[in-house]
Amino acid sequence: MFVDERILTLFKRNAHHTLTYWSVFFSFGLCIAFLGPTILDLQCQTKSTLSQITWVFFAQQFCLLIGSSVGGVFKKTLFTALSALFVSALIISVIFAIIPLCNNVMLLAIAMAVSGLAMGIIDTIANIQLVTIYQKDSAVFLQALHFFIGFGALVSPLIADPFLSETGCGNHTGNGTEIIHHFRNMLRNSPIAEHNITQSHLPHEGGEEESIVHYAFWIMALINLPVPIAVLFLMYREQLIPCCPGGTPRLLDKDELAMESQQGAEGPDAEQKEQEAGGHGDIFGCCQNDNLRGLPVSFFMIHILGGMVLFMTDGIVGAYAGFVYTYAVAPPMSLPHKTAGYLASIFWAAITVGRLLSIPLSYRFQPVRLLMVNLAGVIVTVLMLLIFYTNSTFLFAGTCLAGLFLSSIFPCMLAYTEDILDYQGCATSVLVTSAGMGEMVMQVLVGSIIQTEGSYSFLLCGMIVGCSGFILFFCLLLFHRMHRNYLTGTTKKSAMVEEPAAEVNSSANTEQKEEKESS
């Protein structure tokens, strides 16, 4: 057995909540991966240039960053957390449904900005809720949570493939017609696609192919619709819907009662400690001056360095998924466009498999060990890609290895930093925000460098960023040791204060006992 009975018991006790949070992350993955394969069809739909349509990527990533930053606001109660997840998941389905109606690039950018905001809220809330439920045992469940991102990211391109345009609309060169051909010929025989292709070619023979990509968006909207329904059902089970009262107390009432009893027993010192720690709030709440007093430098550096590591690694994920195709079709690799189209799918498939494999591994090994292996693996993989830069076979193998090593860095870092801070800091909000910022910045940075310096700079950027992340991780280990020494010293001082008080009380009791005996 990979998982012992205690972990299984924890899962069974919180199965409904856990499965719901996992399903919401499927929505996240579904929404993050569809832009790549459909970008040329959306360019035709909005009658825009390629440089204009790329702002849609920026709009989604920028608002995802904003959503991640403010998402912690909704964590205060179970009702607000689940309400935010319900609205966000529903918004994603609505956005999928209205994308075919966006006839200019500005409307499409606004729609993607709204979806990015919903994705950011989902990212923060789902991570916080799982960490709150499982705490020191959260690593296994976080790995499974992030597996569903990869799963959704795999499903999205597969749905879109049968409906993508083969000939384009004249806004791009002939080479663009071969972009993202992965699985298309295999899936092109679907009844809806075959009917519409036939209808579109007969009356317009010799002209432009009529786009049928809107069917893909409507299918994704329907596939995502059960997710907000699942969140709503969880709210009903927890009796959080005002119009649906129930007879038995909901779980939140029991938790609140236990927390009130614990606070009453511990007194005002516990409340003050919680305020100083900051809690799993939004990133702006963590920066309030009242929350930062009396905390050591190591507390802040753990947040900063953990965020910087994810800034680098998630930046690599975004840049690699976005530009591996560009690198593959350019010299010196010069792969056929159809062959290069498989690389992005292989990368996401490797991330999905890696997150699935990390579930039992995170139970067997500490997160810090997995982080060290994964970060070293990324560097070695990119180094081998640099050495064998003309070998197309190793490009596919290296893409697979890169996805495997990058897949579990985020959940491992989240579990590691939360464990260091004893689940009293705001690491979740900081890490989620840093990861989103890294993905946004690195895509823009690497894209501009490739345009000016050539395709080979793609791997050089990956090598530099990977080594930087590894160095920052070792700095994090150093500050972990410093923070542990600080906590040990604080514990010893508390023990030294308590011992004289205990001795005074003991001597006083002895004197009273002697007086009673003498009288």
Q: Is residue 30 part of a domain?
A: yes
Do 232 and 379 lie in a common domain? Answer: no
- Going by C-alpha positions, the residue among 318, 319, 309 that lies closest to residue 471 is 309
Secondary structure (3-state) at 389: coil
Q: Rg of the chain's alpha carbons, rounded to an integer?
A: 26
Do 360 and 462 lie in a common domain? Answer: yes
* Residue 337 burial (10 A CB sphere; 0-12, 13-18, 19+): middle
CA–CA gap between residue 211 and residue 53 (Å, rounded): 17
DSSP secondary structure, 182-220, as one string: TTHHHHTT-HHHHHHHHHHHTTTTTSPPPP-THHHHHHH
* Residue 289 burial (10 A CB sphere; 0-12, 13-18, 19+): exposed
Do 372 and 223 lie in a common domain? Answer: no
For the ranges 259-263, 278-282, 392-396, the maximum mean pLDDT occurs at 392-396
Q: Is residue 143 part of a domain?
A: yes
Q: Is residue 16 part of a domain?
A: yes
Do 235 and 301 lie in a common domain? Answer: no
- Higher pLDDT, residue 21 or 519: 21
| CB atoms inside a 10 Å sphere around CB 16 | 15
Do 230 and 320 lie in a common domain? Answer: no
Query: Is pLDDT of 89 > 80?
Result: yes
Per-residue confidence (pLDDT) for residue 470, from 0 to 100: 95
Q: Name the percent of the chain lying above pLDDT 90.
A: 20
- Arithmetic mean of pLDDT, 330-350: 79
Q: Is residue 180 part of a domain?
A: no
Q: Is residue 500 part of a domain?
A: no
User: Is residue 249 reached through a cis peptide bond, with omega within 30 degrees of 0 on the bond before it?
Assistant: no
Q: Which residues contact 232 (CB under 8 A, 6 or more apart)?
A: 86, 241
Per-residue confidence (pLDDT) for residue 117, from 0 to 100: 92
Domains contained in the chain, number: 2
* Residue 25 burial (10 A CB sphere; 0-12, 13-18, 19+): buried
Q: Which domain holds residue 218?
A: 1-167+212-241
Q: Specify the DSSP class assigned to residue 100.
A: G
CA–CA gap between residue 194 and residue 162 (Å, rounded): 9
In the structure, what pLDDT confidence band is assigned to residue 5 with cuts at 50, 70 and 90? confident
In the structure, what pLDDT confidence band is assigned to residue 372 with cuts at 50, 70 and 90? very high
CA–CA gap between residue 85 and residue 121 (Å, rounded): 7
**Single-letter residue type at 116:** G
Do 361 and 482 lie in a common domain? Answer: yes
Do 29 and 137 lie in a common domain? Answer: yes
Do 300 and 237 lie in a common domain? Answer: no
CA–CA gap between residue 429 and residue 283 (Å, rounded): 6
- Arithmetic mean of pLDDT, 304-309: 92
Q: Which residues contact 377 (CB under 8 A, 6 or more apart)?
A: 401, 404, 405
Instruction: Name the domain boundary from 241, 256, 282.
Output: 241
Do 102 and 223 lie in a common domain? Answer: yes
Can you say whether the dihedral through the CA atoms of 246, 252, 258, 263 is positive or negative? negative
Supply 131's token pair: 């960490």
Per-residue confidence (pLDDT) for residue 517, from 0 to 100: 62
> With contact defined as beta carbons under 8 Å apart, do 420 and 303 qualify?
no
> With contact defined as beta carbons under 8 Å apart, do 144 and 359 qualify?
yes
Query: Is pLDDT of 98 > 50?
Result: yes
Q: Is residue 512 part of a domain?
A: no
- Higher pLDDT, residue 156 or 402: 402
Do 340 and 446 lie in a common domain? Answer: yes
Question: Residue 427 belongs to a domain with what CATH number?
Answer: 1.20.1250.20
Do 478 and 356 lie in a common domain? Answer: yes
Q: Is residue 285 part of a domain?
A: no
Do 232 and 326 lie in a common domain? Answer: no
- Arithmetic mean of pLDDT, 89-93: 92
- Going by C-alpha positions, the residue among 329, 381, 327 that lies closest to residue 354 is 381
- Higher pLDDT, residue 508 or 259: 508
List C-alpha distances in Å: 240 to 82, 202, 214, 245, 321.
Answer: 9, 55, 36, 8, 40
Residue 467 parent element (H or E)? helix 457-518
Q: Is residue 52 part of a domain?
A: yes
Alpha-carbon 52 to chain mean position: 27
Per-residue confidence (pLDDT) for residue 259, from 0 to 100: 39
